[in-house]
Amino acid sequence: MKNGYKLVWSDRALADLKNILDYLTENWTQKEIRTFAKKLDKRLEIIAINPRLFPQSKKGRNVRRSVLTRQTVIYYESIRDTVTLISLFDTRQAPSRLKW
């Protein structure tokens, strides 16, 4: 990562990523999976450099959201010099499942 904030993955964000990767492995080609991974890496790099770039979420005062794809939204919060990834939310789920 270039200069910026330290990224920390919450247990929930890691579980969400695993679920997404399991789904992609079953239903997408390796090329599509690599494209998703590159897009995720690039977005995390942008968030680490400037976490205030994306809008605040209605879920919490310090929580921000970044739409990665039509199906995936990244929720995170920044405190001091650390950005904590809260969730990689699958938008095909009911919004009521988005709790932390």
Instruction: Compute the distance between CA of residue 50 and CA of residue 21 in angstroms, rounded to an integer.
Output: 26
**Residue 99 in domain:** no
User: Which pLDDT does position 94 carry in this prediction?
Assistant: 52
- Is residue 100 one of the residues assigned to a domain? no
Q: Would residue 18 count as lying in a domain?
A: yes
Query: How many CB atoms neighbour CB 44 within 10 A?
Result: 19
Per residue in 57-98, pLDDT (tens digit) is: 887 778 999 999 999 999 999 999 999 999 999 887 655 555
Q: For residue 62, what is the domain's CATH number?
A: 3.30.2310.20
Q: Considering the entire predicted model, what is its pTM?
A: 0.86
Q: Torsion angle, CA of 64/4/84/32, rounded to 10 degrees?
A: 80
Instruction: Count the domains in the chain.
Output: 1
User: In a 3-state reduction of DSSP, which class is residue 92?
Assistant: coil
Domain range for 30: 6-92
State both tokens at 86: 């809260």
80 falls within a domain: yes
